[in-house]
A and B are shown apart, each in its own frame.
Chain A
Amino acid sequence: NAGVTQTPKFQVLKTGQSMTLQCAQDMNHNSMYWYRQDPGMGLRLIYYSASEGTTDKGEVPNGYNVSRLNKREFSLRLESAAPSQTSVYFCASSERWTEKNIQYFGAGTRLSVL
């Protein structure tokens, strides 16, 4: 029972470098999400995918792009990393077609941009 798997767990980038964060879920969920969490703060939604083939912006999408590769996988790309993107990134999935939007989270990716 892997649930939601994120890779990598840690990453250090230099300003201007690009990278892709990977996320995969094995719960057959339709909806997937990318959040960032800064120290001592709550979760802020970057992008989400309500179902395979759709993506939508969340609260803080600037500087990021996403791809819903298939039902299982949802990746987040930083095209030109900036120090302001230093954060912990969480991927989550949920089965929104039921009554409750209960989200299941990956372990997170801790990203530092120097």
Chain B
Amino acid sequence: GQSLEQPSEVTAVEGAIVQINCTYQTSGFYGLSWYQQHDGGAPTFLSYNALDGLEETGRFSSFLSRSDSYGYLLLQELQMKDSASYFCAGDSNYQLIWGAGTKLIIKP
């Protein structure tokens, strides 16, 4: 089957850098995407990796290694507003296969 695993919770300090990992088992994904969800809100798209390597969007970067079935989201210069849940999702044709989410707790 297809599944994605990510840590349930990560804690970091404001201003620091944090990495959220995602490992997957799949018969084939078109790409790996990341979404952010604040408490009580809807998921919003952050980034998409179709190819191996690093994609950078402002303070957020995402990495994919297909050979290792592994990706990560890197958040730099953490701000309190980055406190949220982060989901990796594998692009499987018309469906996204979702991880269970990582709750990012930021301490001042």
Contact = CB atoms under 8 A, between A and B. Distances in A.
Given A41-B101, A42-B101, A102-B33, A48 B94 contact: yes
The dominant DSSP class at the A interface is loop
Nearest to A96: B94
B43 A101 contact: no
B45 A103 contact: yes
Given A42-B100, A58-B95, A100 B44 contact: no
- Max count, chain B CB within 10 A of own CB: residue among A41, A44, A103, A106: A103
Interface residues of B, number: 21
B33 A105 contact: no
Interface string B46-69: 001010000000000000000000
Contacts of A41: 100-101
Contacts of B98: 42-44
B31 A100 contact: yes
Contacts of B87: 42-43
Interface in B70-108: 87, 91, 93-96, 98-101
Given A58-B95, A100-B33, A105 B100 contact: no
9 contacts: A44-B98, A48-B95, A50-B94, A100-B30, A100-B31, A103-B35, A104-B45, A105-B44, A107-B41
Interface of B: 30-31, 33, 35, 41-45, 48, 50, 87, 91, 93-96, 98-101
Given A48-B94, A107-B42, 8 more contacts: A31-B94, A41-B100, A42-B98, A43-B43, A100-B30, A104-B45, A105-B43, A106-B42
